[in-house]
Amino acid sequence: MNTAHAITLVAIDCAYPQLAADALSRSMAKLSVARVLLLTDVALELDGIEVVQIASIRSRAAYSQFVLKQLGAYIDTDYVLVVQWDGFIINGNAWADEFWNYDYIGAKWPHQQGDFRVGNGGFSLRSKRLLNALTNPEFALTPDENEDTAICIRHRDVLETNYGIAFADERVADRFAFDVGRPLGRTLGFHGVFNFWQVLNDAELTAFARTAPDAIAQGLGFGALTKNLVDLKRTDVAQAFVARRLALLPNDPPSTELRVRLDALKQPAPAAQIAAPFKAPASRNDPCPCGSGKRYKECHGKISAAPLAATTIDVDALLSEALQLHEAGNIASAVERYSQILQQQPENATALHFAGLSHYQAGQPSAALELMWRSLKLTHNEPEFFSNVSAAAWSSGRYDDGRWAAEQTLAINPEHVGALNNLGFNLRSMNDIDGSLAAFDKALSLAPSFDYARWNRTFSLLAKGDYAQGFADYELRLKFPQTQPPGKLPDAPIWKGEASHGKRILLMCEQGLGDTFMFARFVPLVVARGLAVTFAVPHSQVALMQQSFADVQVIAIGEHEALQFDCWAALWSLPSALGITLENLPAPERFLRTRESDVAAWQARLDSQPLAQVAKPRVGLVWQGQLAGQDNQMADRSIPARLISRFVASHPDITWLSLQHGAPALNAANVIDWTADTVEFTQMAALIDTLDLVISIDTGAAHLAAALGAKTWVLLRHAGDWRYGITGERCAWSPTMRLFRQDSSRCWEPVLAQLSDALRNDMSQ
């Protein structure tokens, strides 16, 4: 679809139609659409905007009722983009074809509790299909209810279940627009007059302060915008807003306080030194003075735990000191100084950026992006800033923003090898493997000793099936402190694959539990080369490995430190040492073993269940990974519990066995949850041996099931891990594994629909 043919841009406004027309004009200048429509109760002649007169709307309730029940009658395109006078398009190049996959997208409500936090209707994309569904009498408003909360919260389950309406998730919402809070990257639009400081220039802001209708200038949003400008110390623009507020509200205490603060800011300070008027709120639960909409303890109070006393500081000297501390690895002290600087100069681009970088280094990429994005808007030509944003965007799963930021760096400096490296792993996460390889190769052509680029290239090579080069390059991980195998490394040479009859070798697990299950297939090949093998694994895997490899000594990590070895190898080094390629990859149907007595006990327990006697077959299910719901690029491999619950309920003829650890149990009648009794992998493996099928996301349970020879269906995010290749439903590592892949929409609903069809076909045979 094309926006020029599929979208109507609409504003519904009987109070401020000229302002709404301005918002439409701004929007149509940024994005080509099929039709631009202003619905109002007055006759206007506007260039490029079709004005349709409607009955007067003079209340929020009337507006909500109109949008819910009548808007569809005016729309003849597949989609409508609703704008308001204080919410419009700001970045047409932030449009993403991914948006077509949804019937509703609006900005995230950051303080909304529960699963449904998308989205604000003031700037929202809605499908004609949704508008048609809403005409059904079952969808109605309660008194004082806004239409967007009715659609996105109260009626959402029915719309999804009975009408197939698709709502964007928070990841997409953050790319689409922002409302309360700050953007984490490029967005198509925004909502909220309090955000005008982020989208209008100083001249536009000053004109708005002077010409805004009195009702708006007296409103809460205008007051919040005024406070934001004072907090940011944009004194010239803030002066116009404070003056307008006091002209209309001469006895308004907040406006009077802002005037006092503004007057203090306008007092001259010593050269290069700035007095600190910033004052932390009385309670850390109060709103943060920065205007972010967050509590102080969750915003600037999170960076600096205690309020800083008013003082006079040399900002340049303090910034230099902070950067030196940061470079030396003293992040906490650096952050304290960045915070102090930002209290004095809220728009100090360097302090903003490196405070954000500190969050990134602490594993908080979204918090990092909030600050780093602000720094980009203040400094447009600093390549390192763009490159760091690219890395943080990837870490939070915002790959398109990561790609864009890397490209901005390269537009400034085409030979920036760090940006080429960042571009490579963002493209790989968008499933553009060839593009990622080109980026890594260019980085290495410019800097052949850039080990991180060579190491990152490994996963693109492996995804393409180049195991020889990929695993050889992956040996670089042993040079990096953060990718060493766990525990103390042996004082012995690394084994390179040679036959060594009678020598004692230590094989050390590494990476995740699933990697140990998967790479354990190579242990017998090492034994076959004449070595006496000791296999060090996490304690939770010891018993299962012991019963699977009778001719191997299996110990827990840490126990190896008291033993002596002739050589050693990390588990991921075995493919290279053994000369493994995609063509000779050992893929036995089964290489892990269970005890017959354990399997029999689970079989008897299952047979005793009334549910199991009625509903066959028996299917194990895992839907969340370790990082589900976290601010991490791996979080999107998990499936929301509400989608899985609906999926399970749609298959009542199956007995579902939850194999999911670390997540709330599913509330479904046909799900058996014995996870409390499967903490030991020997027991989980024995239970899997009784099942007809295991369905899992890409996690350790999938690799365990495949290693046991169980029929295993794996649900993969769009850019699946390297071990699954790029396309197709078969996995070279396991003959019993079938793959179900997300498409470029990165949505789980189509995957679950495909899975339902496969289940019906499979179970009918």
- Of 75-84, 256-265, 540-549, the range with the lowest mean pLDDT is 256-265
State which CATH number among 1.20.1410, 3.10.129, 2.60.40, 3.40.50 fits the domain covering 482-577.
3.40.50
Contact in structure between 213 and 193 (CB atoms under 8 Å): no
Check residue 307 and give its pLDDT.
Answer: 39
What per-residue confidence (pLDDT) applies to 353? 96
Q: Which of 405, 3, 442 is nearest to 184 (CA)?
A: 405
CB neighbourhood size of 449 (10 A)? 7
- Among 402, 372, 399, 33, CA closest to 189: 33
Please name the helix (run of DSSP H) or strand (run of DSSP E) that holds residue 622, with its range, or none: strand 618-622
381 band by pLDDT with thresholds 50, 70 and 90: confident
SS3 for 21? helix
Six token digits for residue 272: 């290069």
Reported as a pLDDT band with limits 50, 70 and 90, residue 420 is: very high
Kindly indicate the confidence band of residue 745, based on its pLDDT and cuts at 50, 70 and 90. Answer: confident
Closest C-alpha among 465, 375, 413 to residue 423: 413
**pLDDT score recorded for residue 424:** 98
Q: How far is the CA of 70 from the CAs of 55, 84, 103, 128, 191, in angstroms?
A: 11, 17, 17, 12, 22
List every span in the chain annotated with CATH 1.25.40.10. 312-479
- Per-residue model confidence as pLDDT tens digits over 485-536: 998 899 999 999 998 888 999 999 999 999 999 999 999 999 999 999 999 9
What is the H or E stretch that residue 25 is in? helix 17-30
Least confident of 136-140, 314-318, 470-474: 314-318
- Quick one: pLDDT band at residue 182, thresholds 50, 70, 90? confident
pLDDT of 273 reads: 42
3-state secondary structure of 245: helix
Region for residue 397 given its phi and psi (left: phi exceeds 0; alpha: psi -120 to 50; beta: otherwise)? left
Give me the sign of the Cα torsion angle 302, 307, 312, 313.
Answer: negative
Residues 6+ apart with CB under 8 A from 592: 517, 520, 544, 545, 548, 685, 704, 707, 708
Q: Is residue 442 predicted with pLDDT exceeding 60?
A: yes
| Structure confidence at residue 712 as a pLDDT band (50, 70, 90) | very high
User: Could you write out the three-class secondary structure of 286-353?
Assistant: CECCCCCCCEHHHCHHHHCCCCCCCCEEEHHHHHHHHHHHHHCCCHHHHHHHHHHHHHHCCCCHHHHH
Task: Please tell me the least confidently modeled range out of 62-66, 235-239, 639-643.
Answer: 639-643
Q: What percent of the chain has pLDDT over 70?
A: 93
Give the pLDDT score at 627: 65
Structural element, H or E, at residue 598: helix 596-607
pLDDT for the residue numbered 642:
86
Q: How far is CA 508 from CA 303, 545, 575, in A?
A: 39, 13, 14
CB 410 within 8 A of CB 442: no
Distances (CA, A) of 522 to 442, 499, 540, 573: 34, 15, 20, 10
Distances (CA, A) of 577 to 489, 527, 581: 18, 13, 11
Nearest 5°: phi and psi at 195? -95, 0
Question: What 3 state SS string does 664-731 have?
Answer: CCCCCCCEEECHHHCCCHHHHHHHHCCCCEEEEECCHHHHHHHHCCCCEEEEECCCCCHHHCCCCCEE
> Helix (H, G, I), strand (E, B), or coil: what is residue 122?
strand
Dump pLDDT digits (tens) for 271-295. Answer: 444 333 334 444 545 555 444 555 5
Query: How is residue 384 written in tokens?
Result: 């390192």
pLDDT digits (tens, 9 = 90+) for 28-39: 999 999 999 999
CATH superfamily label, 312-479: Tetratricopeptide repeat domain (1.25.40.10)
Query: What are the tens digits of pLDDT across the range 335-375?
Result: 999 999 999 999 999 999 999 999 999 989 999 999 999 99
Whether the per-residue pLDDT at 577 is higher than 50: the answer is yes
**Structure token pair of residue 284:** 């850390």
**Which CATH superfamily does the domain covering 3-191 fall into?**
Spore Coat Polysaccharide Biosynthesis Protein SpsA; Chain A (3.90.550.10)
Alpha-carbon gap, residue 732 to 725, rounded angstroms = 8
Residue 309: pLDDT band with limits 50, 70, 90 = very low
Q: DSSP assignment, residue 153?
A: I
Q: Which CATH code fits 596-763?
A: 3.40.50.2000
* Close Cβ partners of 338 (under 8 Å, ≥ 6 residues apart): 303, 322, 351, 354, 355, 358
Answer yes or no: is pLDDT of 714 > 90: yes
What is the residue type of 433?
I
**Mean confidence (pLDDT) of the chain:** 91
- Of 113-122, 290-299, 428-437, 716-725, the range with the lowest mean pLDDT is 290-299
Q: How far apart are CA 356 and CA 365, in angstroms?
A: 8
Query: Which residue from 625, 623, 618, 627 is spatially nearest to 642, judged by alpha carbons?
Result: 623
Interval 635-656 mean pLDDT: 89
Work out whether the CA dihedral 193, 195, 197, 198 comes out positive or negative.
Answer: negative
- Please report, in angstroms and rounded to a whole number, the separation of the first and last CA atoms in the chain: 39
**Start-end of CATH 3.90.550.10 domains in the chain:** 3-191
